[in-house]
């Protein structure tokens, strides 16, 4: 088995399960508020993902990292619709999930590429995969004429914030919602921006 890691935009249908498992490993605790059952949750992600709005890291045919993004045309998780939720978690579960997910929704603006989550396989951490995925997103944003790349990091995820700062993301605003800490499991989120030169 080789150690070469390749980064590509999008992924084929046969890697949908891997993508869902990677994303859930990174964001399952947050998504569990909306979809408590891990099997149903990964099934929703597998069905809902729009692969073209992602960059993935591949090693020996296996997906070992994923980074989603959001544009005016769509997003990696943009397919998490009521219909998909209802099929996997039932009518009332879908209603609850939609309400909770609406609290986590972030609006994308025309001049900004919005990150839609990043995750790296636990067995492959420390090899720079997250950095490579972030650089790929930045290069894509430059090529597409965006002025900046934006992400949000919660106050409990200090390791992710350190990674973003190393790559060049700068904190611009922190939102506090301690009143929702009991529900969301975190009390604040910091918006971080990577500014691009010569954007449209």
The pLDDT tens digits along the chain (200 residues) read: 457 999 999 999 999 999 999 999 998 888 888 899 999 999 999 999 999 999 999 999 999 999 999 999 999 999 999 999 999 999 999 998 998 888 777 788 889 999 998 999 999 988 999 999 999 999 999 999 999 999 988 776 788 889 999 999 999 988 776 545 545 556 678 899 999 974 44
Please report the pLDDT score of residue 178 as a whole number: 56
Tell me the β-bridge partners of 176: 188
Alpha carbon distance 200, 198 (integer Å): 7
Q: How many Cβ atoms from other residues are within 10 Å of residue 152's Cβ?
A: 15
Alpha carbon distance 36, 45 (integer Å): 13
Q: Rg of the chain's alpha carbons, rounded to an integer?
A: 16
What does the angle CA 99 – CA 113 – CA 127 come to, to the nearest 5 degrees? 95
Delineate the domains of the chain, giving CATH numbers in brackets: 6-146 (3.40.630.30)
- Annotate 74-112 with b (16+ C-beta within 10 A) or e (fewer): ebbbbbbeeebbbebbeeebbebbeebbeeeeeebeeeb
Please report the pLDDT score of residue 180 as a whole number: 54
Tell me the β-bridge partners of 120: 65
Enumerate the H helices of the chain as residue ranges: 16-31, 38-48, 82-104, 129-143, 158-167, 181-184
Please report the pLDDT score of residue 126 as a whole number: 87
Global pTM value: 0.88
The separation between CA 89 and the C-alpha centre of its own chain, rounded to angstroms, equals 22
Please report the pLDDT score of residue 1 as a whole number: 47
Please report the pLDDT score of residue 199 as a whole number: 43
């Amino acid at each position: 088995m080789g150690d070469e890691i390749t980064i590509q935009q999008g992924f084929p249908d046969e890697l949908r399960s891997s993508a869902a498992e990677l994303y859930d490993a990174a964001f399952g605790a947050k998504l569990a508020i909306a979809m408590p059952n891990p099997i149903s949750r990964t099934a929703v992600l597998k069905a809902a993902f729009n692969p073209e709005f992602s960059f993935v890291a591949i090693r020996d045919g296996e997906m070992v990292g994923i980074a989603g993004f959001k544009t005016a045309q769509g997003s990696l998780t943009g397919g998490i619709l009521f219909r998909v939720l209802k099929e996997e978690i039932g009518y009332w579960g879908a209603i609850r999930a939609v309400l909770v997910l609406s609290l986590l929704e972030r609006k994308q603006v025309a001049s900004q590429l919005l990150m839609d989550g990043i995750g790296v396989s636990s067995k492959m951490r420390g090899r720079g995969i997250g950095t490579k995925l972030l650089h790929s997103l930045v290069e894509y944003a430059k090529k597409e004429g965006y002025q900046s790349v934006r992400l949000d990091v919660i106050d409990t995820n200090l390791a992710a914030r350190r990674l973003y700062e190393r790559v060049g993301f700068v904190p611009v605003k922190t939102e506090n919602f301690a009143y929702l800490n009991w529900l969301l499991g975190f009390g604040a989120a910091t918006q971080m921006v990577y500014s691009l030169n010569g954007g449209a």
